[in-house]
Amino acid sequence: MVSGNWYIKTYIAEGNSYLYGNEININIAKLVVQTLAATNVGYTSATLNASIIANNSQDTVYFEYGYLTNYGKTISASPQIVTGTTLTNVSTTINSLASPMIYHYRVKIVRNGEIIYGNDITFKTNLNNPDIVILDASHILNNYAILNGTVNANNNNISVTFQYGVNDLGQSISATPSVITGNSITPILAQIFGLTPQTLYQYRITVIIGLDTLYSNIKTFQTSQTNSATVEMVSVVGGSFQMGCGTGQTGCTADESPVHTVTLNNYSIGKFKVTQQQFITVMKKNPSNFLMSLNLPVENVSWYDAIAFCNALSQQESLATYYSINGTSVTINTGSNGYRLPTEAEWEYAARGGIHYTDYFTFSGSNNLDDVAWYHDNSGYTTHEVGTKAPNQLGIYDMTGNLKEMCWDWYDANYYSTSSSDNPQGPTSGTNIVVRGSWFIDNSTSCQLAIRFGASVPQGYGAGIGFRIALSNK
Residue 43 has pLDDT above 80, yes or no: no
Query: Under 8 Å CB-to-CB from 419, ≥6 apart: which residues?
Result: 243, 260, 262, 345
Residues 291 and 250 in one domain: yes
* Stretch 120-133: mean pLDDT: 87
- Look at 69-73, 265-269, 360-364 and tell me which has the smallest mean pLDDT: 69-73
Domain that holds residue 115: 32-124
Residue 390 has pLDDT above 70, yes or no: yes
Spatial distance between the Cα atoms of 468 and 438, rounded to a whole number of angstroms: 14
Spatial distance between the Cα atoms of 1 and 53, rounded to a whole number of angstroms: 17
- In the chain, the number of structural domains is 3
Spatial distance between the Cα atoms of 347 and 377, rounded to a whole number of angstroms: 25
Reported confidence tier of residue 2, pLDDT bands at 50, 70, 90: very low
pLDDT at 29: 55
Residue 44 has pLDDT above 60, yes or no: yes
Q: What percent of the chain has pLDDT over 70?
A: 95
SS (H, E, C) 337-369: CCCECCCHHHHHHHHCCHHHHHHCCCECCECCH
Residue 9 lies in a domain: no
pLDDT at 249: 82
Residue range 158-191, pLDDT digits in tens: 899 999 999 999 999 999 999 999 889 999 999 9
Spatial distance between the Cα atoms of 387 and 297, rounded to a whole number of angstroms: 10
Residue 368 lies in a domain: yes
* Stretch 391-407: mean pLDDT: 97
Reported confidence tier of residue 407, pLDDT bands at 50, 70, 90: very high
- Look at 111-125, 296-310, 334-348 and tell me which has the smallest mean pLDDT: 111-125
pLDDT at 474: 62
3-state secondary structure of 292: coil
Residues 255 and 321 in one domain: yes
Residue 1 has pLDDT above 50, yes or no: no
Closest CA to 178 of 165, 169, 189, 192: 189
Residue range 311-348, pLDDT digits in tens: 999 999 999 999 999 988 999 999 899 999 999 999 99
How buried is residue 450: exposed, middle or buried, by Cβ count under 10 Å (0-12/13-18/19+)? buried
Residue 112 or 25, more confident: 112
Q: Assign residue 400 the CATH number of its domain.
A: 3.90.1580.10
- Picking from 222, 256, 291, the residue at the C-terminal end of a domain is 222
pLDDT at 248: 79
Q: Is the dihedral of CA 268, 270, 271, 277 positive or negative?
A: positive
Residue 222 has pLDDT above 90, yes or no: yes
Average pLDDT, the chain: 91
Q: Assign residue 66 the CATH number of its domain.
A: 2.60.40.10
Residue 4 has pLDDT above 60, yes or no: no
Pairing of strands 465-466, 404-410: parallel
Residues 310 and 372 in one domain: yes
* Stretch 220-239: mean pLDDT: 92
Residue 209 has pLDDT above 70, yes or no: yes
Residues 206 and 280 in one domain: no
Q: What is the pTM of this model?
A: 0.75
* Stretch 38-57: mean pLDDT: 88
| Residues 89 and 172: beta-carbon distance below 8 Å | no
- Picking from 86, 109, 124, the residue at the C-terminal end of a domain is 124
Angle 311-314-320 (CA atoms, 0-180°, nearest 5)? Answer: 90
Residue 45 or 176, more confident: 176
Residue 357 has pLDDT above 90, yes or no: yes
Q: What is the identity of the amino acid at 386?
A: V
Residue 13 lies in a domain: no
Spatial distance between the Cα atoms of 370 and 392, rounded to a whole number of angstroms: 13
Spatial distance between the Cα atoms of 396 and 234, rounded to a whole number of angstroms: 7
Residue range 8-36, pLDDT digits in tens: 677 677 777 777 767 765 555 567 899 99
* Stretch 416-423: mean pLDDT: 96
The kind and range of the H/E element at 380 are none
Residues 407 and 459 in one domain: yes
pLDDT at 40: 85
How buried is residue 374: exposed, middle or buried, by Cβ count under 10 Å (0-12/13-18/19+)? buried
The kind and range of the H/E element at 313 are helix 303-316
- Picking from 190, 222, 254, the residue at the C-terminal end of a domain is 222
Got the DSSP string for 100-153?
A: S-EEEEEEEEEETTEEEE---EEEEPPP-PPEEEEEEEES--SSEEEEEEEEE-
Residues 353 and 427 in one domain: yes
